[in-house]
């Protein structure tokens, strides 16, 4: 390691979040708090996320009453939760892109379209998984 790389590494720490140094229970507590903040922000600001949470609130309990084994039920629930996870990531991409610039740009459109495509595929995945599990 040269002196230059050590300086670069040391200087790059200045750019890091001040919360990166937290360890142990404090780090876990902070992470949990940030996660709840993110869920609340998505629920408050993202119509699609609210709609998907509503559908998940119906489908997840329904999965418990379906004629499937434990693994099948887990896979059915995981497919529903995957939609929420992908929607959160898509919303994060959209927020970051919008933070950079609100003007129309080919790369911004591409990023948002790819995020939307990921949500679309996760939505298609739900009925496919449920049918495969239930029709076995």
Q: Which residues are catalytic?
A: 87
Tokens of 134: 């239930």
For 66, residues 6+ apart whose C-beta sits below 8 A from its C-beta are 72, 73, 76, 130, 133, 134
Determine the Cα–Cα distance for residues 79 and 53; give it in Å rounded to an integer.
13
Cα–Cα separations (whole angstroms), residue 110 to 80, 93, 123: 26, 11, 20
């Amino acid at each position: 390691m040269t002196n230059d790389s050590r300086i670069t590494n040391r200087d790059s720490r200045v750019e890091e979040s001040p919360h990166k140094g937290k360890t142990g229970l404090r780090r876990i507590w902070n992470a949990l708090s940030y996660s709840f903040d993110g869920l609340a922000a998505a629920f408050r600001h993202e119509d699609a996320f609210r709609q998907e949470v509503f559908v998940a609130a119906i489908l997840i309990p329904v999965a418990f009453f379906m004629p499937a084994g434990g693994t099948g039920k887990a896979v059915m629930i995981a497919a529903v939760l995957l939609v929420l996870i992908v929607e959160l990531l898509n919303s994060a991409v959209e927020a970051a892109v919008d933070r950079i610039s609100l003007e129309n740009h080919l790369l911004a459109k591409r990023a948002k379209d790819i995020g939307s495509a990921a949500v679309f595929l996760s939505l298609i995945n739900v009925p496919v998984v449920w049918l495969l599990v239930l029709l076995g």
